[in-house]
A = this chain, B = another copy of it.
Amino acid sequence: VSRFREEIGEQPAVAARLLLTAAPAVEAIASRLREARPTSFVIAARGSSDHAATYAKYLFGSRNRALVALAAPSLFTHYDRPPRLEGACVIGISQSGASPDVIAVIEAAGSQGCLTVAITNEAESRLAQAADLVVALEAGPERSVPASKTYTASLLAMALISQAIDPDADFAAALARVPRALGAALQLDEELDHLAPALLGPRAVVIGRGFNLSTAEEVALKLTETSYVLARAWSVADFEHGPIAVVDAGFPVLLVGSAGPVASDLQGIAERLAGYSCRVVGLFDGTAGPLEAEATVRLNSGLPEELTPLTLAVLGQLLAHRVALALKIDPDRPRALNKVTRTW
């Protein structure tokens, strides 16, 4: 078994641990936010963590009615012309806590007087030291190059912060069910082999919307970095604005979603793509309507849509792993990569 697959399997335990350990940190963040009353959140991140930032844009937007901006790190580093951030709470997400560009954003935000938060797996890292407050992911060492457990832990940290700002009993109960739901996702590992034949490359499109746009981005990245399938994610809306021209008969398209307000958009695009004889496969959590697809793996975790990016990320990791195995690629040794990428 690869390290990647081992770490995928640790996610129920990582989530359960984070639910226990993060409470003081997220309560401290909520308390400081009640004083500071920020006008917006600015999030700095790279790679998978950037998709966690996209998730927060939807989660903080809908649950907390908060505006979220994703930072452009090169304004802080290469150009040395950072925007004014007064009134914003600035969050840096980095598994290693060693990304110089994420650290640069947090340091600039601190010197502008912003409340700063680090979300990292390394509680002693430079990022953690630079921030006012830290959520330590406590996920244990992540040795596989493609991130898995630190990704879902980052999403869960965001959900816990959102809940601490605007507590809600139903959401609290749903959060408590996350570890079991991730366990249920793991049970579908072998079923994902039904989706793999469509995704053996050299290219694929991954489509999501709303909360699971972040999941589509993350699954596309996982396929790209573990299986060398050039996978490109789009929201249904952006896809229909132009890129849909790329598909023809046999073109592989993976749809990722849950029940909820955007489910009918996914159904609509599935029908349209079936009309072009594309190879449509689906990854779902929830009982949305039937979908025209060659193969679908469906979990019914019972989680609200807001938390399905966690279960669906696990399914996407497992899928990328199965595709890599089918292609005889070692997922622990992606070409040309080291675990910590120190971009500036």
CB under 8 Å from chain B, chain A span 103-151: 145-146
Residue of A229, A246, A261 contacting most chain B CB atoms (<10 Å): A246
Q: Which of B79, B237, B242, B334 contacts A48 (CB 8 A)?
A: B242
| Residue A245 lies at the interface, judged by CB distance under 8 Å to chain B | yes
- The proximity string for A residues 305-344 relative to B, scoring 1 for CB distances below 8 Å and 0 otherwise, is 0000000000000000000000000000011110001011
Q: Are A343 and B84 in contact (CB under 8 A)?
A: no
| Residue A88 lies at the interface, judged by CB distance under 8 Å to chain B | yes
Which residues on B sit within 8 Å (CB–CB) of A72? 57-58, 61, 210
Which residues on B sit within 8 Å (CB–CB) of A73? 237
- The proximity string for A residues 42-61 relative to B, scoring 1 for CB distances below 8 Å and 0 otherwise, is 10001110100000011011
- Min CB gap A257→B, angstroms: 12
Number of interface residues of A (CB under 8 A): 75
- Min CB gap A156→B, angstroms: 20
Which residues on B sit within 8 Å (CB–CB) of A63? 81
| Residue A62 lies at the interface, judged by CB distance under 8 Å to chain B | yes
- Min CB gap A134→B, angstroms: 22
Which residues on B sit within 8 Å (CB–CB) of A42? 67
Residue of B nearest to A334 (CB): B245
Q: Are B243 and A221 in contact (CB under 8 A)?
A: yes
Q: Which of B65, B70, B225, B248 contacts A70 (CB 8 A)?
A: B70
Q: Are B101 and A83 in contact (CB under 8 A)?
A: no
